[in-house]
Amino acid sequence: MSDNRPIGVFDSGIGGITVLKALRAHLPHENLVYLGDMARLPYGTKSADTVTAYSLQTTKHLLTHDVKMIVIACNTASSVALAPLQAALAPLPVIGVIEPGAEAAVAATKSNHIAVIATEATVRVGAYVRAIHARNPDAHVVQEPCGLFVTLAEEGWVSGDVVEATARRYLTPLFKRKAAPDTLVLACTHFPVLAKTIRKVVGRGVRLVDSAETTARAVEAALDIQGLCTKRRGRGTVKFLTTDSVDRFSRVGGIFFGEVIRPKDVELVDLQFS
Amino acid sequence: MSDNRPIGVFDSGIGGITVLKALRAHLPHENLVYLGDMARLPYGTKSADTVTAYSLQTTKHLLTHDVKMIVIACNTASSVALAPLQAALAPLPVIGVIEPGAEAAVAATKSNHIAVIATEATVRVGAYVRAIHARNPDAHVVQEPCGLFVTLAEEGWVSGDVVEATARRYLTPLFKRKAAPDTLVLACTHFPVLAKTIRKVVGRGVRLVDSAETTARAVEAALDIQGLCTKRRGRGTVKFLTTDSVDRFSRVGGIFFGEVIRPKDVELVDLQFS
């Protein structure tokens, strides 16, 4: 059995391409379709109802590409829309980034003190706290919404005095406590591009964890269990879709992907007016 | 003749409330309906087509409130969508913030050197440059997109080291030239809340100009010319509508409005799924 249908991946914009990149590295033979909802980003400042409605629209579009699985490459959408999407799309498998991220955090910590930085929406829902406690009830988890990091990453301001001042303002209170966390979860797909500055502020002793790698491994395991792997040998294809700003998507997306994305390889799709 | 129908005002979110506040001050007897498209903000990073489509949807909803005029309280939407809206809604008058802002800038400058800071979309379209040159062909205009200011205003970080470092990074190159501008147009409705820090960076010699006051005067003149004024005496009503996040709208919107906005006074409307 060989299932050559693509895996559908979506995010509010470009950040999720860090997850796509990890999928590409772990599962080079699989075909991938990535949809960035650039027309409505960011998701992280919006209500759970709105993010869920957007997520249902994006996945509905991915279904027209005959996908065999949905990967929610966005922490906010994973936090609020995973269960509704699984219910709406069953038996199609839907995988979010929270559980794999929590897995990575629990594996990384030695002191059981974990800090989670994320968007306002992800923090409000508390999905990481629950997912970490489900694996380790003794873990101490502190959370901090770091909304400005998203804009900084999108502006390409990944180092320099502004990012550093922002990181200090957000992170210093988290790590200036008696039992300081030894693990920091970058619980937004935008944050890994700021890792160098974040590392500078929190110090070498803290482990930085993100969901990209562990999500790719979770996808690999799910494909395997459900007999959905491709058996093709050649390198799979990657198709890019965006709801707005093809040029910006290809320019900034290429940085996140680590490969050139040409504007002509990005298809503009309309989820709202069609 | 007394026309008691409300004036419809819209913005991508909360920033436009600075314009609403000026309208309220200039035209206390008029009824006002304000719609903030919080579900899809910001507009400033999105394409002209998408912003125009959103603007058409928001005004279409305002028409259900029987408005006598539309005020686009958003620089990005005014830059790209004014002409399409005027065409779609004629003979209903539609007033944007660009022309009044350009008017204010030309009145303020003595050296004919004007700087405009705005969102990426507003800068790209160059509407301010054209509107200023239409009034004063000899004016020298420099522009700078300051996307991060929008997020800073929305986070409530209006002073402190992060805003100051951001303002220095954006503004110092604009004012470190031989013929430095003597006038700075805050060409995004979010920017006036950062005025104190901006002032600190550019110095006392530079005049800061925004569109709120001059837009209110333009609306007053248009109502007058077209015989659309109310002749009622009492204080007019203000109705608030938002496409998402009622709590955030009332909390942050109240700061921009200078009066308390209670969550129960804000109506959630759905432009996309109804």
User: For residue A151, what is the nearest residue in chain B, using CA coordinates?
Assistant: B148
Residue B274 has a pLDDT of 59
How high is the ipTM of this complex?
0.89
Asked if A154 and B45 come within 8 Å (Cβ–Cβ), the reply is yes
Catalytic residue among B188, B198, B219, B228: B188
Catalytic residue among A188, A193, A219, A252: A188
pLDDT of A274 strictly over 70: no
Decide if A185 touches B, using CB distance below 8 A: no
Interface of A with B in 28-47 (CB under 8 A): 38-41, 45-47
Query: How confident is residue A256, by pLDDT bands cut at 50, 70 and 90?
Result: confident
Give the separation between CA B113 and CA B106, rounded to whole angstroms: 10
Decide if A159 touches B, using CB distance below 8 A: no
Domain boundaries, chain B: 7-96+213-268, 98-210
Task: Characterize A98-111 residue by residue with b for buried, 16 or more Cβ atoms within 10 angstroms of its Cβ, and e for exposed.
Answer: bbbbbbbbbebbee
- The stretches in chain B having pLDDT less than 50 are none
Length, in residues, of chain A: 274
Burial class (CB in 10 A: 0-12, 13-18, 19+), B133: middle
Q: What is the CATH number of domain B98-210?
A: 3.40.50.1860
Query: How confident is residue A236, by pLDDT bands cut at 50, 70 and 90?
Result: very high
Distance from CA of A220 to the nearest CA of B (A): 34
The reply to whether B229 belongs to the active site is no
The DSSP-derived string for B235-255 is: PPPEEEEESS-HHHHHHHHHH
Instruction: Tokens 């989820």: give the residue.
Output: A271
Distance from CA of B224 to the nearest CA of A (A): 37
Contacts of A169 in chain B (CB under 8 A): 160-162
With beta carbons less than 8 A apart as the criterion, state whether B189 and B73 touch: yes
As assigned by CATH, the class of the B7-96+213-268 domain is alpha beta
Q: Answer positive or negative: Cα dihedral of A53, A58, A59, A63.
A: positive
Query: How many other CB atoms are found less than 10 A from the CB of residue B88?
Result: 15
Decide if B48 touches A, using CB distance below 8 A: no
Decide if A165 touches B, using CB distance below 8 A: yes
Contacts of B243 in chain A (CB under 8 A): 50
Residue B178 has a pLDDT of 84
Three-state secondary structure readout of B154-206: HHCCCCCHHHHHHHHHHHHHHHCCCCCCCEEEECCCCHHHHHHHHHHHHCCCC
**B7-96+213-268 and B98-210, same CATH topology:** yes
Contacts of B53 in chain A (CB under 8 A): 272-273
Distance from CA of A166 to the nearest CA of B (A): 6
Residue A4 has a pLDDT of 96
The reply to whether A229 belongs to the active site is no
User: For residue A168, what is the nearest residue in chain B, using CA coordinates?
Assistant: B162
Give the separation between CA B97 and CA A175, rounded to whole angstroms: 45
Decide if A271 touches B, using CB distance below 8 A: no
Give the separation between CA B48 and CA B43, rounded to whole angstroms: 9
Query: How confident is residue A231, by pLDDT bands cut at 50, 70 and 90?
Result: very high
Output the average pLDDT for chain A. Answer: 95
Contacts of B165 in chain A (CB under 8 A): 161-162, 165
Q: Which of B146, B151, B247 to probe the A interface (max A CBs under 10 A)?
A: B151
Give, in degrees to the nearest 5, the angle at Cα A125 between B266 and A186: 120
User: For residue B270, what is the nearest residue in chain A, using CA coordinates?
Assistant: A50
Asked if A161 and B160 come within 8 Å (Cβ–Cβ), the reply is no
Residue A84 has a pLDDT of 97
Average confidence (pLDDT) over A210-236: 94
With beta carbons less than 8 A apart as the criterion, state whether B143 and B113 touch: no
Give, in degrees to the nearest 5, the angle at Cα A52 between A49 and A53: 85
User: For residue B151, what is the nearest residue in chain A, using CA coordinates?
Assistant: A148
Decide if B138 touches A, using CB distance below 8 A: no
Residue A59 has a pLDDT of 97
Query: How confident is residue A2, by pLDDT bands cut at 50, 70 and 90?
Result: very high
Give the separation between CA B188 and CA A95, rounded to whole angstroms: 39
Catalytic residue among B74, B77, B142, B194: B74
Asked if A157 and B148 come within 8 Å (Cβ–Cβ), the reply is yes
Decide if A161 touches B, using CB distance below 8 A: yes
User: For residue A246, what is the nearest residue in chain B, using CA coordinates?
Assistant: B47
